[in-house]
């Protein structure tokens, strides 16, 4: 119960963080891809609503209309009406097909961009590994559940998965793309306005499919570069004694069996990379707001918040837990 309440409060905080309602709405586009699709959607919603109303009108007129009795002449008139109806239907479908193809071509036009930002998004049960590859290994950035992109620049997203099929869906930027383990694929998107957009896994991927979200942070190019530069640096050696105790707790406990912190001996990749954990906004794939209290609860018993998650419970004594939280929060 408490876990649920915690998740609820955390969820509310996350929603507040990303600007509340509509941060995951497909008809509230923030980029050219979602914009094109939203335009097509509105065209279909309006035109099909009109068609629907006409069909209902014909139905009800038929139900209450005056009767002339059956005759050959009236049957012939019915034949004419049915043929007209079918012709209109067919014409409409042809228009739709043309629109569909042209919107599809519009969507793929971003792929011709010469210099896109390349990002690898790798699905895990139940979190997102996000890698900004670079030729030099020390310039590669690895993070989790938070996708930073520069506003106005094309992003080429290469998808893959280490376990089951997931689906990356950021409704305000683009339609979804499945993360199929044996079929990596590529798609492009662009954000035209700065903001925080929420995304969520859209293909059922097991027990905690419901808690597999991510934040997309679109920021001006300069801000993005600064973030990227900061993310390239290894974690700093903690200066104060509390955080040093936290680091010991981290490295001597079970944490390094799954997590990595660059600059320390922890280098496992089964769980999210924590090198710059303190700079991230959420915990547990956007399940909780990243705050001291939430983090403590998460470390002690993640199963209360996200039942079945692969992270085990960690019964850490209170003073050490406090130090560990300070250490993690300090990994900016």
Residues from 253 through 312 that contact other proteins (CB under 8 A): 286, 307-308
> Is residue 148 within the footprint of other proteins (CB under 8 A)?
no
Rounded distance between C-alpha atoms, residue 50 and residue 43, angstroms: 11
Binds other proteins by CB under 8 A, chosen from 30, 31, 32, 36: 36
On whether the CB atoms of residues 295 and 325 are closer than 8 A, the answer is: yes
Shorter beta-carbon distance to other proteins: residue 163 or 322: 163
> Is residue 208 within the footprint of other proteins (CB under 8 A)?
yes
Taking phi over 0 as left and psi of -120 to 50 as alpha, with beta for the rest, 108 belongs to alpha
Shorter beta-carbon distance to other proteins: residue 146 or 273: 146
How many residues bind other proteins, per CB under 8 A?
96
> Is residue 11 within the footprint of other proteins (CB under 8 A)?
yes
Window of 145-153, 168-176, 230-238, 271-279 that interacts with other proteins by CB under 8 A: 168-176
* Rounded-to-5 percentages of helix, strand, coil across the chain: 45, 20, 35
- CA torsion, points 239, 240, 241, 245, in degrees to nearest 10? -70
Window of 116-124, 157-165, 244-252, 293-301 that interacts with other proteins by CB under 8 A: 157-165
User: Count of residues for the chain?
Assistant: 332
Window of 65-73, 133-141, 223-231, 241-249 that interacts with other proteins by CB under 8 A: 65-73
Binds other proteins by CB under 8 A, chosen from 142, 143, 167, 290: 167
Scanning the structure block, which residue is given the tokens 């896994």?
A: 201
Binds other proteins by CB under 8 A, chosen from 127, 187, 224, 250: 187
> Is residue 76 within the footprint of other proteins (CB under 8 A)?
no
> Is residue 81 within the footprint of other proteins (CB under 8 A)?
yes
Binds other proteins by CB under 8 A, chosen from 119, 150, 151, 174: 174
Binds other proteins by CB under 8 A, chosen from 107, 121, 141, 217: 107
What 3 state SS string does 165-203 have? CEEEECCCCCCCEEEECCECEEEEECCCCCEEEEEEECC
Distances (CA, A) of 135 to 118, 132, 141, 164: 12, 10, 11, 29
| 151: its two tokens | 């506003």
Nearest distance from C-beta of residue 250 to other proteins, angstroms: 29
| 268: its two tokens | 């496992």
> Is residue 171 within the footprint of other proteins (CB under 8 A)?
yes
Shorter beta-carbon distance to other proteins: residue 292 or 303: 303
Window of 135-143, 197-205, 226-234, 322-330 that interacts with other proteins by CB under 8 A: 197-205
DSSP of 225-237: HHHHHHHHSPPPP
């Amino acid at each position: 119960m408490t876990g649920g309440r915690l998740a609820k409060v955390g969820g509310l905080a996350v929603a507040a963080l990303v600007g509340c309602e509509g941060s995951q709405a497909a008809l509230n586009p923030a980029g050219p891809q979602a914009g094109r699709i939203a335009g097509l959607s509105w065209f279909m919603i309006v035109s099909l609503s009109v068609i629907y109303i006409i069909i209902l009108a014909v139905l009800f007129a038929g139900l209450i209309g005056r009767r002339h009795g059956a005759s050959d002449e009236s049957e012939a008139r019915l034949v004419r009406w049915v043929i007209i109806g079918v012709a209109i239907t067919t014409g409409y479908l042809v228009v739709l097909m043309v629109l569909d193809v042209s919107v599809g071509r519009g969507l793929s036009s971003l792929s011709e961009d010469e210099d896109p930002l390349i990002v690898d998004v790798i699905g895990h049960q139940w979190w997102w590994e996000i890698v900004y590859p670079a030729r030099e290994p020390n310039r590669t950035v690895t993070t989790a559940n938070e996708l930073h992109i520069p506003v106005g620049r094309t992003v080429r997203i290469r998808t893959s998965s280490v376990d089951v099929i997931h689906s990356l869906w950021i409704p305000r930027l683009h339609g979804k793309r499945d993360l199929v383990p044996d079929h990596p694929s590529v798609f492009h998107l662009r954000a035209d306005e700065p903001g925080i957009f929420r995304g969520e896994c859209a293909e059922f991927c097991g027990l905690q499919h419901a808690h597999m979200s991510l934040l997309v942070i679109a920021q001006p190019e300069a801000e993005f570069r600064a973030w990227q530069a900061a993310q390239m640096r290894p974690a700093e050696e903690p200066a104060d004694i509390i955080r040093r105790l936290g680091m010991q707790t981290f490295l001597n406990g079970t944490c390094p069996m799954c997590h990595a912190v660059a600059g320390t001996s922890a280098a496992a990749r089964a769980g999210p990379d924590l090198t710059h954990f303190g700079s991230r906004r959420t915990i547990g794939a956007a399940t909780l707001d990243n705050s001291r209290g939430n983090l403590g609860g998460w470390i002690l018993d993640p199963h209360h918040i996200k039942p079945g998650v692969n992270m085990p419970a960690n019964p850490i004594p209170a003073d050490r837990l406090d130090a560990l939280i300070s250490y993690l929060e300090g990994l900016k």
